[in-house]
């Protein structure tokens, strides 16, 4: 343990400049613009790994947990794992940091997590580096360059949804509804910035914002309230939970308008059934598996970009097709982002639905 700590404590300083230098599997771990490169001294596996989830109250988080477990169950990955643990701690940064600290103290080699907020983790990063634990946040990432992080470009995700709505609505776009996510973290912040970068460029546009918490039920309630208060909208941009947004609009007999939507199965079913124009684009929950893949790669001595940007899964509403990019036989909550082919074979629905979302 002492040798592990001292070797990794030195290696954790391995911020090697521009990611334009050679990194491991760039087809999967593609560098974000202007990011650095991080590497650690190689360790001998198998490894003790943990996934510390925060908020667990929506279907995306459930599928992220299922994706992580499905990844760990594949024989080629199981061979590198001595122990794999998943915990969910709620929307409390102190509880999440405490859970990470517990795994560090227990000698875990790598920990992935969805950060509750982007700014509270510098002390735990220092403790992890000192004790030789590799941290790989994903989805809600941190405002730091001290560790490798896995994400899609959240600003680009918000931007492309807003661009689709602006293009499809054209001159009719006078008032738009923006359904935001869970307040206080980097993902919600950056998606909103991406949306606003487009919408604020539309002269005279009225923008009404509500908080949907990335949850279908919450989105349905806040959108219903917004419709009752503000009347008819000419377009909608939604971070996640868009099925609730659409159902609220249908229940209110709201006119069909362009929507920038997420990638849940039920969302695509509704868009196709009701001929709703727009785009379905998502943060794939299988990103949790890519973060674990990155943690193992780092533990094995490979260098990776400090910020990894995965491709954004997307489909235009006009291209929706049952059995191809949505699946009527599967649950509406199922997220169509089942993997990143650049990294490993996407999970089958059976692989994911066969995993529990419980702590383990």
Interatomic CA distance for residues 279 and 164, integer angstroms: 7
Paired strand residues for 176: 207, 235
Residues 8 and 147 occupy one common structural domain: yes
Residues 141 and 175 occupy one common structural domain: no
Interatomic CA distance for residues 315 and 187, integer angstroms: 21
**For residue 322, what is the DSSP state?**
B
Paired strand residues for 84: 49
Residue that has been written with the tokens 């990894």 in this structure: 308
**Number of domains into which the chain is organized:** 2
Looking at per-residue pLDDT, the higher value among 22 and 208 belongs to 208
Q: Which pLDDT does position 16 carry in this prediction?
A: 45
Reported as a pLDDT band with limits 50, 70 and 90, residue 6 is very low
The answer to whether residue 319 sits within a structural domain is: no
Query: Any alpha helices (H) in 115-153, and if so which ranges?
Result: 122-131
Say whether pLDDT at 334 is over 60: yes
The answer to whether residue 335 sits within a structural domain is: no
Q: Which pLDDT does position 141 carry in this prediction?
A: 84
Q: Which pLDDT does position 21 carry in this prediction?
A: 53
Contacts with 201 (C-beta within 8 Å, 6 or more apart), sequence order: none
The answer to whether residue 320 sits within a structural domain is: no
Residues 31 and 180 occupy one common structural domain: no
Q: Which pLDDT does position 7 carry in this prediction?
A: 43
Q: Mean per-residue pLDDT for 310-329?
A: 93
91 burial via Cβ count (<10 Å: 0-12, 13-18, 19+):
middle
Q: Mean per-residue pLDDT for 289-310?
A: 97
Q: Mean per-residue pLDDT for 208-235?
A: 97
Q: Are strands 110-113 and 134-137 parallel, antiparallel or unpaired?
A: parallel
Residues 134 and 224 occupy one common structural domain: no
312, 153 contact by CB (below 8 A): yes
Q: Mean per-residue pLDDT for 210-222?
A: 95
The answer to whether residue 328 sits within a structural domain is: no
Interatomic CA distance for residues 57 and 134, integer angstroms: 27
Three-state DSSP state, 12? coil
Reported as a pLDDT band with limits 50, 70 and 90, residue 12 is very low
Interatomic CA distance for residues 237 and 253, integer angstroms: 18
Percent of the chain, pLDDT > 90?
A: 80
Q: Which pLDDT does position 10 carry in this prediction?
A: 36
Output the average pLDDT for the chain.
92
Question: 10 Å Cβ neighbour count for 220?
Answer: 20
Q: Which pLDDT does position 14 carry in this prediction?
A: 45
145, 54 contact by CB (below 8 A): no
Residues 24 and 82 occupy one common structural domain: yes
Instruction: Tell me which residue of 50, 136, 56, 52 sits closest to 91, measured CA to CA.
Output: 56
The answer to whether residue 226 sits within a structural domain is: yes
194, 159 contact by CB (below 8 A): yes
Dmax (CA) of the chain? 66
**For residue 61, what is the DSSP state?**
H
User: For 300-316, how does the pLDDT look when each residue is reduced to its tens digit (9 = 90+)?
Assistant: 999 999 999 998 989 99
**Residue 199 CA, distance from chain mean position:** 23
Residues 187 and 126 occupy one common structural domain: no
Q: Which pLDDT does position 172 carry in this prediction?
A: 96
Token output for 163: 């661009």
Choosing from 263, 281, 299, the residue where a domain stops is: 281
Residues 7 and 92 occupy one common structural domain: yes
The answer to whether residue 356 sits within a structural domain is: no
Q: Mean per-residue pLDDT for 196-215?
A: 96
179, 223 contact by CB (below 8 A): yes
Token output for 106: 């227990």
The answer to whether residue 178 sits within a structural domain is: yes
Say whether pLDDT at 151 is over 50: yes
Say whether pLDDT at 9 is over 60: no
Residues 12 and 87 occupy one common structural domain: yes
Residues 220 and 163 occupy one common structural domain: yes
Residues 188 and 295 occupy one common structural domain: no
285, 60 contact by CB (below 8 A): yes
User: For 229-275, how does the pLDDT look when each residue is reduced to its tens digit (9 = 90+)?
Assistant: 999 999 999 999 999 999 999 999 999 999 999 999 999 999 999 99
What φ, ψ does residue 178 adopt, rounded to 5°?
-110, 120
Say whether pLDDT at 205 is over 50: yes
271, 280 contact by CB (below 8 A): yes
The answer to whether residue 321 sits within a structural domain is: no
Token output for 101: 């600290």
For residue 211, give the CATH number of its domain: 3.40.50.2300
Residues 231 and 193 occupy one common structural domain: yes
User: Domain span at residue 8?
Assistant: 2-152+285-312
312 burial via Cβ count (<10 Å: 0-12, 13-18, 19+):
middle
Residues 140 and 25 occupy one common structural domain: yes
203 burial via Cβ count (<10 Å: 0-12, 13-18, 19+):
exposed
């Amino acid at each position: 343990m002492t040798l592990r700590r001292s070797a990794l404590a030195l290696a954790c300083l391995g911020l090697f400049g521009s990611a334009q230098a050679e990194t491991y599997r760039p087809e999967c771990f593609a560098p974000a613009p202007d990011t650095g490169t991080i590497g650690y001294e190689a360790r001998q596996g198998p490894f003790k790994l943990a996934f510390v989830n925060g908020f667990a109250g929506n279907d995306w988080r459930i599928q992220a947990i299922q994706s992580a477990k499905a990844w760990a169950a594949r024989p080629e990955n199981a061979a590198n794992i001595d122990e794999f643990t998943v915990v969910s701690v709620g929307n409390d940064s102190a509880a999440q940091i405490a859970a990470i600290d517990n795994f560090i103290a227990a000698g875990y080699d790598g920990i992935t997590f969805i950060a509750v907020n982007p700014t509270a983790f510098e002390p735990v990063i220092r403790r992890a580096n000192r004790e030789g634990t590799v941290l790989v946040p994903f989805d809600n990432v941190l405002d730091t360059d001290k560790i490798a992080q896995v994400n899609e470009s959240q600003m680009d995700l918000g931007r492309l949804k807003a661009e689709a709505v602006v293009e499809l609505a054209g001159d009719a776009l006078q008032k738009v509804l923006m359904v935001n996510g869970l307040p206080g973290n980097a993902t919600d912040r950056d998606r909103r910035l991406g949306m606003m970068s487009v919408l604020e460029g539309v002269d005279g546009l009225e923008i009404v914002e509500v908080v949907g918490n990335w949850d279908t039920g919450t989105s349905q309630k806040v959108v219903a309230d917004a419709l009752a208060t503000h009347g008819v909208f000419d377009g909608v941009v939604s971070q996640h939970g868009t099925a609730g947004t659409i159902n609220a609009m249908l229940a209110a007999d709201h006119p069909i308008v362009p929507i920038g939507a997420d990638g849940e199965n039920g969302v695509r079913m509704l868009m196709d059934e009701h001929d709703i124009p727009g785009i379905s684009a998502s943060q794939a929950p299988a990103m949790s598996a890519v973060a674990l893949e990155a943690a193992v790669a780092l533990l094995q001595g490979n260098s990776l970009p400090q910020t990894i940007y995965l491709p954004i899964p997307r489909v235009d509403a006009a291209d929706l097709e049952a059995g191809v990019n949505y699946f009527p036989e599967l649950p509406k909550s199922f997220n169509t982002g089942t993997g990143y082919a650049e990294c490993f074979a996407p999970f089958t629905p059976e692989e994911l639905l066969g995993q529990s979302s419980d702590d383990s």
